[in-house]
Chain A
Amino acid sequence: KAGVTQTPRYLIKTRGQQVTLSCSPISGHRSVSWYQQTPGQGLQFLFEYFSETQRNKGNFPGRFSGRQFSNSRSEMNVSTLELGDSALYLCASSLFLAPYNEQFFGPGTRLTVL
Chain B
Amino acid sequence: GDSVTQMEGPVTLSEEAFLTINCTYTATGYPSLFWYVQYPGEGLQLLLKATKADDKGSNKGFEATYRKETTSFHLEKGSVQVSDSAVYFCALSDPPRTSGSRLTFGEGTQLTVNP
Contact = CB atoms under 8 A, between A and B. Distances in A.
B71 interface: no
Given A4-B43, A90-B44, A107-B42, A101 B97 contact: no
A51 to B, nearest CB: 12
Contact of B43 (A31, A56, A105): A105
Given A42-B105, A42-B108, A43-B105, A103 B100 contact: no
Interface of B: 32, 36, 41-46, 49, 51, 89, 93, 96-97, 99-108
B100 A106 contact: no
A75 interface: no
Interface of A: 4, 31, 33, 35, 42-45, 48, 50, 55-56, 58, 90, 92, 94, 96-108
B45 A105 contact: yes
Contacts, number: 73
B44 A48 contact: no
A72 to B, nearest CB: 13
Q: Top 3 A-B pairs ranked by shortest CB distance? A: A105-B43, A43-B105, A101-B93
Nearest to A98: B96
Contacts of A99: 51, 96
A101 B108 contact: no
Contact of A50 (B93, B100, B105, B107): B100
